[in-house]
Amino acid sequence: MITNLKQKAFLISLLSLLLTAIMLGQDTTVSLAFKNNRPQRWPILLYRPDLSYQLWQQFKLIQDANAGDALAEHELGIRYLTGQGFPNDTTLSAYWIGKAAKQKLTGACYNYGILLTNGWGISWNPFKAFNYFVEAANDDMPQAEYIVGLSYTDNLVVKRDWSKAYSWLKKAAANGFVPAKEALTELLKRISLSSIDTANSQVKVESNKFKKENSNDKVLASSTGLVFIDFASLKDTMQTISDRMILDDILHEGNDSLAKALNISYKNDSTFKFDSISLKLLKDFAENGSPEALTLLGKLYMEGIYFKRDLIKSAEYYIRAARLDSPRAPILLWDEINKNNFLSVLKNRVDKNDPRAMYVWYGLFTLEFNNQITDKDAANFLIKASALKFIPAINELGLNFYTGKIFPVDKTKKRRG
């Protein structure tokens, strides 16, 4: 018993000493002046807004947007798109971003263009989207300048214009947008600086996006799948296409298989040297939609190299290449049809019901290279060529029924074609 009491007393004394030591030596790194005078520390708690605060934020944002505040409209649209504080709703997102875009808020114009281009929350309309991209680009937004520049390199939404493409891409690159710098480098590989109108270096495009809703589709006529070359601008920037330039196009990135099949390298000279196997592969690539292969075939048929000279077949390949955005084919085609008594040969073969010749005349009309026939004549040529089972004409007819460019839209006929 005594032993137990002594042990308990010893333990209590030891515990008291330990507590005292802890209190006196709690922080030996601080001046002794604070040993017994340290300010009381309160636990740090992070504040998280409650539901009522979040609801107030949402209410205030909607209130400002309804009052016509462009920034609030845009912010509300972004939140509906990303689901930040609001349920994901692309339709409401497009509605509010569109309202901000109509007030010319730069970021909203760009974002609304993205929605229109992809058909997110609103009907797909790349022509209307282009107008909004232009509005943002005119406010020096590099991303928009880049998109406008790229738009001028093809013939889908607007007619190709190398000068405007170069000018817009140059502006975007100067504003530090890296993809624009890369695109500009690639562009200069495909066109010569002499073909660029330097007067357009500070180009400003008029935007007509704010027309009434029922006339938006008429602002720019759809040319999806068809190529429309401006005769005047083409003549002003005409350049001579050498054999080496045609071969260099095949050496661009992405054409590795074609270059290998034709045994083309930068070390080769500037002449066309192919064997029978290479020529067969060249035709295979052309039929599979290679614009470079189509352009090369057009040149070979035009010059009578490896194939019997055939101006109409050459023109067919050039037209198909131009349709696939070949930068060389339209110039080569224009050069061809203005030499060698081409139109007389074309008319003679059309009179003989040659489907290829009919397709070519239709193509020249759609490219605006020849205006001796009407819309109705061009449509009839295409229908007749298709009836004679000329495959390029059948494909073009189906595309026309899809886009409604010459014929009324009829997607069931597209499928049958």
Residue 42 DSSP symbol = P
Q: N- to C-terminal Cα distance for the chain? A: 110
Give residue 5's pLDDT: 46
Burial category of 354 from C-beta neighbours within 10 Å (exposed 0-12, middle 13-18, buried 19 and up): middle
Question: Alpha carbon of 392 to those of 3, 50, 260, 319, 417: distances in Å?
Answer: 112, 65, 27, 10, 11
Give residue 405's pLDDT: 56
Residue closest to 322 by CA, chosen among 291, 358, 365: 291
**Mean pLDDT, 10 residues at a time, over the chain (417 residues)?**
49 47 45 52 53 69 88 90 84 92 92 90 89 93 92 83 88 90 81 52 43 37 32 45 82 79 69 85 89 91 92 93 84 85 91 94 86 84 91 83 55 46
Q: CATH number of 59-200: 1.25.40.10, 1.10.8.80, 3.30.70.420, 3.40.50.150?
A: 1.25.40.10
Domain residue extents for the chain: 59-200, 231-416
User: Cβ of 222: how many Cβ atoms within 10 Å?
Assistant: 15
Query: Rounded to an integer, what distance in angstroms lies between the CA atom of residue 219 and that of residue 127?
Result: 8
